[in-house]
Amino acid sequence: MRVLVVEDDENLRIAIAGSLRAAGFAVDAVGDLPAADEALSVNSYDCAVLDRMLPSGDALHYVRVRRPAVPVLFLTARDTVADRIAGLEHGDDYLVKPFAVEELEARVRRLCRRVASGLPPVLRCGDLEVDSGRHEVRRAGVLLTLTGKEFDVLRLLVARQRTPVHRADLIKEVWDPFVDPASNVLDVVITQLRRKLRHPPMIHTVRGFGYRIEPA
């Protein structure tokens, strides 16, 4: 599994890269967003670990605009609820500094497993197309703009189309196994997906269980 680390603090960058290599990952480590952009354009990664605030810009804004086709883990000292929500909306995970190396390794491994899940790169459900390679979603040929979490939830639903997916499974796969299944984070994403997918509706509520997607 190959990981890209983007961290401007040289000592921390070396330490993170070293710990991940010791855990069995292949690691490329760079210090700014232009270097990250270049690395992502020429190499294939299973996960990217980005320091949130870099001299070359806010990595959250970079991910929102660039939309790299790999899971993203943000590292940051910013720990407000608003910062965490923004990070989880536009990335795939969010780890606050200081952190335990073991936790970083576990989170990176979980994100890498998501890439290695064996699903085909392009999933289709009726006129809906989910392209994991390009991190793009189209309905009836129209490109939709989704957040990272919206993309991940939709991809999982389409991968299991016509089958009800339990809300606890969706939260565990897309957010974190420690997030309360009763949390409304999933419901917010489903509401936004329904709005963006427009009519006719595709995502259906399975009362008392979860959600199911079917061709319209």
112-147: pLDDT as tens digits: 776 555 566 788 999 999 987 677 899 999 999 888
Other beta carbons within 10 angstroms of residue 202's beta carbon come to: 23
Question: pLDDT > 70: what percent of the chain?
Answer: 88
What lies within 8 Å, CB to CB, of 29 at 6+ separation is 4, 5, 6, 7, 13, 14, 16, 17
Domain match, 111 and 180 both: no
Rg, the chain, Cα only: 17
The pLDDT assigned to 149 comes to 83
Name the pLDDT band for 64 (thresholds 50, 70, 90). confident
Domain assignment of residue 59, given as a range: 2-115
Q: How many domains does the chain have?
A: 2
Question: How many degrees, rounded to 5, is the angle at CA 61 between CA 195 and CA 135?
Answer: 55
Domain match, 89 and 128 both: no
State the Cα–Cα distance between residues 32 and 28, nearest whole angstrom.
Answer: 12
Which of 93, 115, 137 finishes a domain?
Answer: 115
Question: What is the rounded average pLDDT for all residues in the chain?
Answer: 83
pLDDT at 151 over 70: yes
The pLDDT assigned to 169 comes to 80
